[in-house]
């Protein structure tokens, strides 16, 4: 700080506290709602203090779900989301490591074409090619399967660029030494390059896990069988009961459960998260 201005410091803290309240309040309200009985939402206003039904609500959602709304138990959906998020993150990292390795450490015809083909995926998010992509997946018979949920999302230009950038900074001497010692390309990749990329892989994993977890449109399109619902899309079904008010306490219990895993990842791996976020946008 350049100079001491007590009033300005006070104002600074005030701004931050208001900011934190605004950011936290919607989730606080959701949590409060999830601890009440369903009758508490008939009166004019949502309650602002915790109620006594927390364990009951969470227990019911985790084990039974709401069958009338066509939603399976949240525990199944949480399991699906975890599997899908991990498969997407690991898959993206694996195929991006391999393709970045090919692009940086080899010279071959069509290298530039391969690079640009990967680059183009940046410009084609699912949202802009919904129907034809759905048609491809349907024709391959991948609707309602983990493969259909994950494989089409696995290509990653950003991860490939990140690893390419990193590989270019690896000193040439390492590779020359490895070759002199008789290591082949795959041995060099496995024993030298992978260990060096550890931090980058971890940071990217955090970002991509969140990316996989929050997917909504794609699971919505390719799953009709409730066994494959992810928690993020399952919640929407709960909340969208046609003519009656939703069962707010149960909906909010599932909202809290759906938010918890990725939010905990961000809070407890904050350093990796920030690194991943800033790196992937370079």
Partner 1 sequence: MQTKRTIFPNKLLPYALLAPQLAVTLIFFIWPAAQAVKSSFEREDPFGFRTTFIWFENYTRLFSEPGYLNSLTKTAIFAVSVTLLSISLSLLLAVAVNRVLKSNRAYTTLLVWPYAVAPVVVGILWWFMFNPTIGIAPYMLRGLGIDWNHRVDGNQAMILVVIAASWKQISYNFLFFVAGLQSVPQSLNEAAAIDGAGPFKRFWTIVFPLLSPTTFFLLIVNINYAMFDTFGLIDATTNGGPNQATNILVYKVYADGFLGLNIGSSAAQSVVLMLIVIALTAIQFRYIERRVQY
- Kindly identify the residues of this chain, within the stretch 181-200, that bind partner 1 according to CB under 8 A: 185-186, 188
HSE (side-chain half, CA atoms, 13 Å) at 264: 6
Q: How far is the CB of 68 from partner 1 (least distance, A)?
A: 19
CB of 144 to partner 1, least distance (A): 17
CA 35/CA 39 separation, integer angstroms: 12
Rounded Cα gap, residues 264 and 260, in angstroms: 6
CB 102, min distance to partner 1, A: 4
Given 93, 251, 253, 272, the residue binding partner 1 (CB under 8 A): 251
Q: In the range 107-146, which residues lie near partner 1 by CB under 8 A?
A: 107-108, 111-112, 114-115, 117-118, 120-125, 127-133, 135-137
Kindly report the CA angle at 230 between 277 and 57, in degrees rounded to 5?
105
Q: Does 262 participate in binding partner 1 (rule CB under 8 A)?
A: yes
- What are the C-alpha distances in Å from 22 to residues 15, 17, 18, 48, 198? 11, 9, 6, 15, 37
26 binds partner 1 (CB under 8 A): yes
Between vectors from CA 37 to CA 56 and to CA 54, what angle results, nearest 5°?
Answer: 35
Q: How many residues bind partner 1 (CB under 8 A)?
A: 105
* Nearest approach, Cβ of residue 8 and partner 1 (Å): 6
Q: Is residue 269 at the binding interface for partner 1, with CB under 8 A as the rule?
A: no
Q: How far is the CB of 188 from partner 1 (least distance, A)?
A: 8
**Residue found by looking up tokens 């993020």 in the block:** 232
The contacts of residue 125 (CB under 8 Å, 6+ apart) are: none
Minimal distance in Å, beta carbon 122 to partner 1?
6
Binding to partner 1 (CB under 8 A): which residues in 52-91?
none
- How far is the CA of 237 from the CAs of 82, 165, 201, 258, in angstroms? 19, 42, 35, 14
Judged by CB under 8 A, the chain residues 230 through 249 that form the site for partner 1 are: 232-233, 235-236, 239, 245, 248
- Tokens in use for 134? 């759905």
Shortest Cβ 232–partner 1 spacing (Å): 5
Residues whose CB is less than 8 angstroms from the CB of residue 191 and which lie 6 or more positions away in sequence, other chains included: 183
Both tokens assigned to 233: 């899309």
Which listed residue (86, 144, 214, 280) binds partner 1 by CB under 8 A? 214
Q: Is position 49 an interface residue for partner 1 (rule: CB under 8 A)?
A: no
- The interface mask with partner 1, positions 154-183, x = CB under 8 A, is xxx---x-------x---x--xx--x----
Out of 249, 259, 272, 279, which residue is the one contacting partner 1 (CB under 8 A)? 259
């Amino acid at each position: 700080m350049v100079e001491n201005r007590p009033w300005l410091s006070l104002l600074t803290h005030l701004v931050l506290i208001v900011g934190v309240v605004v950011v936290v309040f919607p989730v606080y309200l959701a949590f409060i709602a999830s601890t009440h009985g369903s009758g508490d939402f008939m009166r004019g206003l949502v309650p602002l203090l915790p109620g006594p039904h927390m364990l009951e609500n969470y227990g019911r959602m985790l084990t039974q779900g709401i069958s009338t709304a066509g939603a399976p138990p949240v525990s199944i959906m949480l399991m699906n989301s975890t599997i899908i998020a991990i498969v997407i993150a690991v898959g993206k990292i694996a195929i991006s490591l391999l393709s970045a390795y090919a692009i940086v450490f080899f010279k071959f015809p069509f290298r530039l074409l391969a690079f640009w083909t990967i680059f183009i995926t940046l410009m084609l998010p699912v949202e802009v090619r919904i129907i034809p992509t759905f048609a491809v997946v349907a024709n391959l018979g991948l609707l309602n399967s983990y493969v259909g949920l994950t494989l089409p999302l696995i290509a990653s230009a950003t991860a490939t660029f990140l690893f390419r950038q990193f590989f270019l900074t690896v000193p040439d001497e390492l590779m020359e030494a490895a070759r002199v010692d008789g290591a082949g390309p795959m041995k060099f990749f496995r024993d030298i390059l992978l260990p060096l990329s550890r931090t980058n892989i971890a940071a990217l994993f955090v970002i991509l896990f969140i990316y996989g977890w929050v997917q909504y449109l794609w699971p919505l399109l390719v799953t009709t069988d409730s066994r494959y619902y992810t928690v993020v899309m399952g919640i929407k079904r709960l909340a969208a009961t046609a003519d009656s008010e939703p069962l707010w306490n149960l909906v909010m219990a599932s909202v809290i459960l759906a938010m918890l895993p990725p939010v905990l990842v961000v809070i407890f791996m904050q350093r990796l998260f920030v690194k991943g976020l800033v790196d992937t946008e370079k």
